[in-house]
A = this chain, B = another copy of it.
Amino acid sequence: MSMYVTGIGRTKFGVSDKTLAQLAYEVILKAIKDSKLSINDIGAIYVSNFLGGILENQLHLNSLISGLLPGTNIPIIRVETACASGGAAFYAATMALSSHDHVMVIGVEKMAGFDSEILPHGISSAGDVYADQRKGVIFPAGYALIAEEYINKYGITAEDFALASLKAHQNANFNPLAHFHQKKISLQEIKESMVVCSPARLFNCSPISDGAAAVILSRERRSSRDVEVLACSLRTDSISLSHRKEITSFPAAKLAAGDAYAKANVTPADIDVAEIHDGFTIAEVVGMEDLGFCKPGESKHLLRRGETTLQGKIPVNTGGGLKANGHPIGATGVCQVCEIVTQLRGEAGDRQVKNAKIGLAHNIGGVGGTAIVTILRK
């Protein structure tokens, strides 16, 4: 069965006064308008959200969203897989397309403005209570362990990490809806920013953002702007790094990528533009290798040669990535698809990748406990 993205919509990422329901409503309207469908054409909705329960005591978001669409009563399901929630909702929606002509995916998250105790505590819920949380392995620490090991193994430098962050911020400057659209930052400032969890500095970490994104999946192409979903694969792994044999690569991501490439019948060399999950810079570095854009340990060469910038061989995170577009967790995986669709439609304006025909989105939960790889074609 063929699948197409026939509508997309997103909010500006950043700090918002809107509620979860209001953010969701904004992207429902935008995606419907973009698709030229009616809300009554939508057969089912999958909504992703990570922290509504812990931060706001708001679960049952599928029903919350049903209330925004009175009289529809359609099947709506909430999916949660930590930072991969958006990708997982998209994946579940591809399954539901066997039963419906059009399925909507909504990702939504509110994180800004919560106090400095509950927020990191909530985010740490993506790790095992016993094996991770109670031993202090919150996410900056987990990814710092990975970065340290990667440095020891492959000799990547702080400057290489900074190059990845700089590229993200430069791309965000061309994306009016990015969290850090107007922020100007230099390589030197990135390298000298405060240490969050060594070796990760402030500009190696994604920010705390509010936001939402939506995508409409359809069985048939409806216009020349529609983008085909060639493959969407999801794989999982143990929740705790302590149960992994090696930590400088994520098996779930490699397996999802391998499956997606096979289903799409393309190779890494065919990918013209990619969204890679850069919750921390090291995740993007590992991601490039797990996706086969280079061999293990060789991401640094891609970064040094500027191959992942807009002008490079494989532009990465053209909208700014989690680092600079922002990371409203439940929305992230959905927004990645929006960005790739925007690129493949040729509607990315100043950040447009020339001749982009095939794009890929890579969404990670926890420290690689969940991975989704989606491949799309113009």
A142–chain B nearest beta-carbon distance, Å: 12
Contact A75:B125 (CB < 8 A) given known A63-B82, A365-B63, A370-B62: no
Q: Identify the stretch in A30-38, A48-56, A202-210, A338-346 within 8 Å (CB) of chain B at 4 or more residues.
A: A48-56
Q: How far is the CA of A130 from the CA of B67 in the complex (A)?
A: 13
Which of A186-194, A238-246, A279-287, A312-320 participates in binding chain B?
A238-246
Instruction: Say whether, besides A57-B124, A95-B98, A236 and B62 are in contact (CB < 8 Å).
Output: yes
User: Is A74 in contact with chain B by the CB < 8 A criterion?
Assistant: yes
Asked if A168 is at the interface of the complex by the 8 Å CB criterion, the answer is: no
Give Cα distance in the complex from A54 to B234, angstroms.
Answer: 26
Bound Cα distance from A255 to B93, whole angstroms:
21
In the complex, are the beta carbons of A125 and B74 less than 8 A apart? no
Of A58, A91, A133, the most chain B CB neighbours within 10 A belong to A58
Whether B56 contacts A54 by the Cβ 8 Å rule is no
A240 and B67 in contact, given A81-B62, A235-B73 (Cβ under 8 angstroms):
yes
**Best-surrounded residue of A65, A67, A243 (most CB of chain B within 10 A):** A67
Q: A66-B369, A67-B239, A130-B19 are in contact. Are A234 and B57 (CB under 8 A)?
A: no
- For the complex formed, measure the closest distance between the CB of A140 and the CB atoms of chain B, giving whole angstroms: 17
Distance between Cα atoms of A259 and B99 in the complex (Å): 13
Q: Are B77 and A126 in contact (CB under 8 A)?
A: no
Report the interface size for chain A: residues with CB under 8 A from the other chain. Answer: 60
Interface of A is mostly: mixed
Determine if A121 is an interface residue (Cβ-Cβ < 8 Å): yes
- A73 and B236 within 8 A (CB): yes
| Contact between chains at B79 and A79 (CB < 8 Å) | yes
B77 touches A234 (CB 8 A): yes
CB-CB under 8 A for A60 and B129, given A73-B237, A234-B75, A236-B66:
no
What is the minimal beta-carbon distance from A108 to any residue of chain B, in angstroms?
A: 14
Residues in B with CB closer than 8 Å to A59 are: 50-51, 53-54, 80, 82, 125-126
| Chain B: minimal CB distance from A326 (Å) | 20
Partner pick for A63 among B51, B255, B370, CB 8 A cutoff: B370
Task: Chain B residues near A236: list those with CB within 8 A.
Answer: 62-63, 65-66, 73-76
**B residues less than 8 Å from A370 (CB atoms):** 60, 62-63, 66, 76
Q: Which residue of B lies closest to A65 (CB)?
A: B236
Q: Which of A285-332 contact B (CB under 8 A)?
A: none
Q: Are B237 and A60 in contact (CB-based, < 8 A)?
A: no
Residues of B within 8 A of A66 (CB): 236-239, 252, 369-370
User: A268 interface residue, CB < 8 Å from B?
Assistant: no
* Chain A 89-101 near chain B by CB (<8 Å), digits 1 or 0: 0011001101100
A237 proximity list for chain B (CB < 8 A)? 63, 66-67, 73
Closest 3 interchain pairs by CB?
A: A63-B369, A67-B238, A66-B236
List 19 interface pairs A-B (beta carbons < 8 Å), by A numbering.
A50-B59, A58-B128, A60-B82, A60-B126, A60-B365, A62-B88, A62-B369, A63-B239, A63-B369, A64-B128, A64-B239, A66-B370, A73-B252, A75-B91, A75-B236, A77-B81, A79-B79, A92-B92, A92-B95
